[in-house]
Amino acid sequence: MYRTKIAGIGYYVPEKVVTNNDLTRVMDTSDEWIIERTGIHERRYAKKHEESTATMGAEAAKIAIERAGITAQDVDFIIFATLSPDYFFPGCGVLVQRLLGIPNVGALDVRNQCSGFIYGLSVADQFVKTGMYKNVLLIGGEFHSAGLDFSTRGRNVTVIFGDGAGAVVLQPTEDQDTGILSTHLHADGNYAEVLSYINPGCHGGVHLGTERFGYPEQEFGGAFLTQKMWDDQDYYPNMDGQAVFKVAVQKFPEVILEALKTNGFTPADIDLLVPHQANLRISQFVQRLLKLRDDQIHNNIQKYGNTTAASIPIALCEAWEMGKVKPGDLVCLAAFGSGFTWGSALIRW
């Protein structure tokens, strides 16, 4: 059995910086409210019609591939995590495959929102440590700004999210002291609608026990997009922020401690925790609870907002570029998000 190591890492964020004050031009919000509640100062938005989740993912991937010392032709499997794909189907995996010019290799799409990168990492780990693949490309990317409600109605969600992508190349190593030590995945579908983007979908309100979205009257089909959804503008994400907060601050520490305990460590042993950048308040709560020093955690939500599946690889890459991740370090990654889903990974760098 091999261990799986991160051989290369890269990220891409679009050029356009959107400050909190920029948002006050289109909705009733304020710089003070956003900073106090979320810690976010600014985020990046992709160029409409020019950039997409797949193109940003490909840019991040090119950097990760180069840093791994391989070429795109060496990649033997692609995993793409996103909640904001270019198309309803097919997924972004095949689009990145086309952009990188590597036909035939398998391409898997992961739909686990903020936990997507951790879920993808765990899947990649199973393929790599068994020797099935030698260079797995794992990407997390999001183009949130294309699907947010920029009216005041959507302000509680819209101010939080930003665009970007991060990628890693995963390779086998025979060195049992480095690489991914363990991954831990969890979910609780009882909270499915608490943080969700329901339309377009085929449910017609069934899961919610309501007729809120209204199946059309005809005998067959037509529920993905109905006139009623259109008329009600019922095609934006929704979030019960306080419910998310309450469960997130419980599950983040739980799943971090699970990873540490599995490997015989305590929070004091962590060299760097890179939590999914959901909200600075959540990260700070977790830091306090685990009694971590400031140098044991890396946050960058202040600059990029919440980039969902992209947030961990972007933050990890940034920390690595800053010299905060060194060979031999114990690095913990942890995520919580829509589903609810949550997970962690412990890595000896």
**Catalytic annotation on 184?**
no
Q: Which two tokens stand for residue 301?
A: 């939500």
Q: What is the DSSP string of 200-212?
A: S-S-TTTTTTS-T
d(Cα 17, Cα 278) in Å, to the nearest integer?
A: 19
Catalytic residue among 114, 184, 279, 332: 114
Report helix, strand or coil for 98: helix
Strand partners, 337: 341
Q: Which two tokens stand for residue 76?
A: 């033997």
Binding of ligand ACO by 297 (CB under 6 A):
no
Residue nearest ligand ACO (C-beta atom): 241
Instruction: Candidates 18, 31, 35, 37: give the one binding ligand ACO (CB under 6 A).
Output: 37
Token pair 């995963």 is found at 170
Q: Which two tokens stand for residue 5?
A: 């190591």
Per-residue binding string, ligand ACO, 298-337, x by CB under 6 A, is --------x-----------------------------xx
Full 3-state SS string of 117-177:
HHHHHHHHHHHHHCCCCCCEEEEEEECHHHHCCCCHHHHHHHCCECCEEEEEEEEEECCCC
Instruction: Candidates 150, 281, 289, 303: give the one binding ligand ACO (CB under 6 A).
Output: 281
Binding of ligand ACO by 215 (CB under 6 A):
no
Catalytic residue among 41, 144, 184, 276: 276
Instruction: Candidates 159, 223, 229, 316: give the one binding ligand ACO (CB under 6 A).
Output: 159
CB count in 10 Å sphere of residue 1: 8
Q: Which two tokens stand for residue 241?
A: 């922020």
Binding of ligand ACO by 43 (CB under 6 A):
no
Q: Least distance to ligand ACO from the beta carbon of 60, Å?
A: 19
Binding of ligand ACO by 120 (CB under 6 A):
no
Binding of ligand ACO by 242 (CB under 6 A):
yes
Report helix, strand or coil for 186: strand
Q: Which stretch binds ligand ACO (CB under 6 A): 33-41, 54-62, 77-85, 118-126?
A: 33-41
| Footprint of ligand ACO (CB under 6 A) | 29, 33-34, 37-38, 114, 155-156, 159-160, 195, 241-242, 244-245, 248, 278-279, 281-282, 306, 336-337
Residues annotated catalytic, as ranges? 114, 276, 306
